[in-house]
Amino acid sequence: MIDIKLIRENPEVVKENIRRKYQDQKLEMVDEIIALDREIRLVKQEADDLRADRNRLSKEIGALMAQGNKSAAAEKKEQVTANAKRLAQLETKQKEIDDEITNLMLLIPNIMASDVPLGRDDSENVEVGVFGEPNVPDYEIPYHVEMMENLAGIDLESARKVAGSGFYYLTGDVARLHTAILTYARDFMIERGFTYCIPPYMVRSGIVTGVMSFAEMDAMMYKIEGEDLYLIGTSEHSMIGKYADEILAEDSLPQVWTSYSPCFRKEKGAHGMEERGVFRVHQFEKQEMIVICQPHESSAWFTKLWQNTVDLFRSLDVPVRTIECCTGDLADLKAKSYDVEAWSPRQKKYFEVGSCSNLTDAQSRRLKIRVNGTDGKYFVHTLNNTVVAPPRMLIAFLENNYQADGTIAIPAVLRPYMGEKEVLIPSH
């Protein structure tokens, strides 16, 4: 949510931001908000005048009663009663208008960074950097499910029987590798100064609408029937929600977290050959980065966050590149976002394994997360980034560490988490 003062004082800035996102259908919402804002201020002024008048009349009634002038006091009381009735109407109207403004404001996209590349969709995203040589070996790389099956490490058929498509059983060395990568990622981030956290895996609706847009909520979130609870799609949801309605001390910032959680997503519209197996699933686990900081720090933190992910993947011998999301591909709450993509030697292309986002004060305005600064209160900036998210990370790892004899090489940094194994050997 953006500051309504910006809409009130610089509506063209807001409209141009909407045009850059190719969301012209939202332009009229800006005018609606301006009209409603004008109306609610008139309502508030009349209500304030009535309250002041009530105080004045109360004093006059007291004086008249003291003088024994009951008839004049009675007339004043009738006026107080009429004013009270009108005030109640105005308070109801103010609440209705305020709700209308809030509902519209939640649909207005956050102001994007000025350097976000212009584009309609993800086909116009821009490559920022390449890290590591995208190698294609002279031997065939099997499909990731085949590799896992050769390691006796996956059971999709049983998972479909138990839970349906989009779920999986991981077993043996593959399950151990899955956990090893997450544990290594946790320690990697702790060494970089982040505090480890395991958050709630469910959040209330007020938190959900505070951290994401309605479109994302509908596409992603699973609701718990009969409860005001949703399963999280990422630990960002509960980690940012942790600060809702809080006023933080300026010297307590920045706050930097690396959080672990399972993640649950509907994945509406998932389709395509490469989404078979465990590429796109309803349940996975993820190590995340979360930063709560002062506004002037968020740009520098954004760079640090995506660089952490690049460094971690390179330490596991996985080539990656960073892609900047263009204006039309940027989610409404984001001011700037990079995707980190891992190289697939089997497909001979990159695929997304994480996303780094600076949301400036969009989430903090919705959730009322403020700082008590030397010059008054202000809203914090929030950022998030994926460290690793198996099983996609597993796919990248297996493909890039697959050897000609069918074994999987284990990089030195991961061996302490794998019982010092140097390779995984297929069982058949």
Domain harbouring 26, CATH code: 1.10.287.40
pLDDT band at 193 (very low <50, low <70, confident <90, very high): very high
161 and 212 assigned to the same domain: yes
94 and 229 assigned to the same domain: no
Give just the sign of the alpha carbon dihedral 225, 227, 228, 234: negative
Q: Residue 107 — left, alpha, or beta (φ > 0 → left; ψ -120 to 50 → alpha)? A: alpha
Q: Say what the pLDDT of residue 276 is.
A: 65
Strand spans (E) along 116-236: 126-131, 154-155, 169-170, 195-197, 202-203, 222-223, 230-231
376 and 242 assigned to the same domain: yes
pLDDT band at 268 (very low <50, low <70, confident <90, very high): low
pLDDT value at 274 more than 70: no
301 and 365 assigned to the same domain: yes
> Can you tell me the mean pLDDT for 191-209?
96
Q: How many domains are there within the chain?
A: 2
Residue with more model confidence, 403 or 272: 403
Domain span holding position 17: 4-105
Q: Is residue 117 part of a domain?
A: no
pLDDT value at 32 more than 90: yes
278-314 burial string, b = 16+ CB within 10 Å, else e?
Answer: bbbbbbbbbbbbbbbbbeebbbebbebbbbbbbebbe
* Percentage of the chain lying above the pLDDT 90 cut: 85
- Candidates 326, 203, 183; CA nearest to 258 is 183
94 and 137 assigned to the same domain: no
Q: Is residue 113 part of a domain?
A: no
411 and 268 assigned to the same domain: yes
319 and 193 assigned to the same domain: yes
192 and 297 assigned to the same domain: yes
What is the domain-level CATH number for residue 367? 3.30.930.10
Q: Say what the pLDDT of residue 272 is.
A: 43
Residue with more model confidence, 233 or 71: 233
pLDDT tens-digit series, residues 295-335: 999 999 999 999 999 999 999 999 999 999 999 999 999 99
* Percentage of the chain lying above the pLDDT 70 cut: 98
Q: Is residue 43 part of a domain?
A: yes
252 and 300 assigned to the same domain: yes
Averaged pLDDT score across all residues of the chain: 94
194 and 229 assigned to the same domain: yes
Beta bridge partners of 12: none
> Can you tell me the mean pLDDT for 330-351?
96
